[in-house]
Copies of this chain bind each other. A is one copy, B any other.
């Protein structure tokens, strides 16, 4: 297995498989088939078998996949067999919602710090967090070795905050600001922009 050779589109489907398998496990299900998994995620059984076989032989002809085993393998492949520290920048409504979101920890992530450049927000409490001054991003993230950040700042400041995060050692940014970011090749960005997602569907209406 050579990680560099797996197409990104396949990597993008693995978290969806992982989520569905985790849900089956939570419901007490022990084994599954590519057919059954496919029905849960809306992807063909053949595609699922092909995607998973990129990483080895995890299923048995006739008996299917052991869910616990496949979960372990997928977590290992996606490197979420550990908990990643995540910095959140932007303590507005979306930042608040993410700070309170319960769906990170059991999927490999925990928010460890929340920053904002608005001095009126600095010191504000969001549940167990205290909003910190965005000026402290470099020292705080470098010393803690934080590699992942979520960006919920306005579009106008997103690039400058991203630059600061990257200087502080961040290698993966989940960007909620409605703007494309320019980042070096060794930094990954994923975008969450509800209007973009909606516009992708209106075409078909």
Contacts and interface: CB of A to CB of B under 8 A. Distances in A.
A120 interface: no
A68 interface: no
Given A194-B192, A197-B192, A178 B97 contact: no
Interface in A7-53: 11-12, 14-16, 18-20, 23, 39-42
Nearest to A109: B198
Q: How many copies does the complex hold?
A: 2
Contact of A19 (B84, B97, B107, B178): B178
B190 A86 contact: no
23 contacts: A15-B200, A19-B178, A19-B179, A19-B193, A23-B155, A78-B200, A80-B202, A84-B198, A84-B202, A84-B205, A96-B97, A97-B97, A103-B193, A108-B198, A108-B199, A147-B205, A148-B202, A171-B205, A172-B198, A172-B205, A188-B205, A190-B198, A190-B201
A195 interface: yes
A18 B199 contact: yes
A181 to B, nearest CB: 8
A16 B23 CA distance: 32
Interface string A104-132: 10011100000000000000000000000
Contact of A101 (B147, B194, B202): B194
A93 interface: yes
A101 B103 CA distance: 21
A194 B98 contact: yes
Nearest to A181: B42
